[in-house]
Amino acid sequence: MTLKRAAAITGIGEMKPTRSPDGKSTLGIWTDVARHAILDAGLSIGDIDGLLIGQPITEQAQMWPSILGEYLGIHPKYGNVVDLGGASAAGMVWRAAAAIQSGLANAVLCVTGEASDVETFYAPRARRSAQQLPYREFEVPYGPMGVNSGYALIAARHMYEYGTTSRQLAKIAVDQRTNACANPDALFYGKPLTVEDVLASPLVVDPLHLLEIVRPCTGGAALVVVAPELARDSPNPPVWLLGAGESSRGMMLSQMDSITTSPITEAAPKALAMAGVSHNDVDLISVYDCYTITVLVTLEDAGFCAKGKGGPFVEEHDFTWRGDMPLNTHGGQLSFGQPGLAGGMSHVTEAVRQLQQRAGDRQVADCEVAFVNGNGGIMSEQVSLVLAVE
């Protein structure tokens, strides 16, 4: 089965991230970004017949589609919660396209977001809940206490196996901060970085520094995926799904054959093959970046460079919006912010914005094809997309 041109993204809505909720609720954020996305697509509430929601990290509830549908006045024929961690947003896009292709829906609203900050994201209750999962008994007693530790292990192992350096990883954060400085909506807008700044920031878990680690915040994002016949009437250029791939492995680093190789090695080739494009056809790379090492491993495993060559590859290329290989042009989550699963959605919305030539001062020239990747867990769940305009 192919999803090539089965559906298109025609509208997006996104909240400017803030450091704290400031009285906002998750449901309120969803409502705001959903309405903006529907309006941007040139549709009305009554046109939406599908609803996909990303599970909030800090709030647990049942039947989210029913809750939000009721709040918005939507009565979807198709609804679901997508819970793939940071890969949820990318996963929503191809699931929406599949639902449309199968006749389950014609216009699917995909919503993510969270009223969160550093304190609620790392709340003691949330930490206890995660650590009480049965499989944690095989790792927690031996050191890895959370996500920071897991990604630090990946970075340390990559350095050991391939000679990757902290300066190479720091350049990723610097290039993305340059992009954020061209994006007024970014959390760290107007705050440029140097490699020396990154390396001088505190070590959180060796070898990862504070400025290589994402900052949880409040925000939200939504998009509308529609059938081809609706896409033709869109006020915006339709952004077509050309290809999609998904692959996952277990959650435990201790059970992985290699912690420096991820399921992107399966997801990305599938997406590119379905789309019928090569790496050289890609004008924009928009990939999940909870840590600098995440970006480097993604570039390798997606095939943009050979395995183990990510460090030199980073040094050789300019990832800024005006560079030879634009990457995470909104600033990435490292500089735009990570508002729950809307952090992953920001990579999709930025790709749409660039492809529709609506990125303002950071617009990538001649942007027609984008590669998007979502990452859940500790490089556990991967979803790759190829998006394009005609």
Walk along the chain (390 residues) in steps of 10 and give the mean pLDDT of each run.
96 97 94 98 98 86 89 95 96 99 98 80 51 72 80 98 99 99 98 99 98 96 99 98 96 90 99 99 99 99 99 99 99 96 96 99 98 97 98
**Side-chain-facing half-sphere of 35: CA atoms under 13 Å:** 8
What backbone torsions phi and psi does residue 283 show, to the nearest 5 degrees? -95, -20
Residue pair 283/242 in contact (Cβ under 8 Å)? The answer is no
User: How far apart are the C-alpha atoms of 269 and 303, rounded to whole Å?
Assistant: 8
Q: Do 253 and 150 contact (CB within 8 A), yes or no?
A: yes
What pLDDT score was predicted for residue 138? 78
Decide: 334 and 289 in contact? Cβ < 8 Å: yes
Q: Is 228 left (phi over 0), alpha (psi -120 to 50) or beta?
A: alpha
- What is the predicted pLDDT for the residue at 135? 72
pLDDT of 125 reads 47
Pairwise CA distance, residues 104 & 40, whole Å: 23
Domains along the chain? 8-118+215-388 (3.40.47.10)
- Compute the distance between CA of residue 40 and CA of residue 311 in angstroms, rounded to an integer: 40
Q: What confidence tens digit (pLDDT) does each residue in 91-141 have?
A: 999 999 999 999 999 999 999 999 976 666 555 444 445 556 677 777 777
pLDDT at 48: 98
Whole-number pLDDT of residue 56: 87
pLDDT at 121: 58
Q: What does pTM read for this prediction?
A: 0.96
- pLDDT score at 117: 66
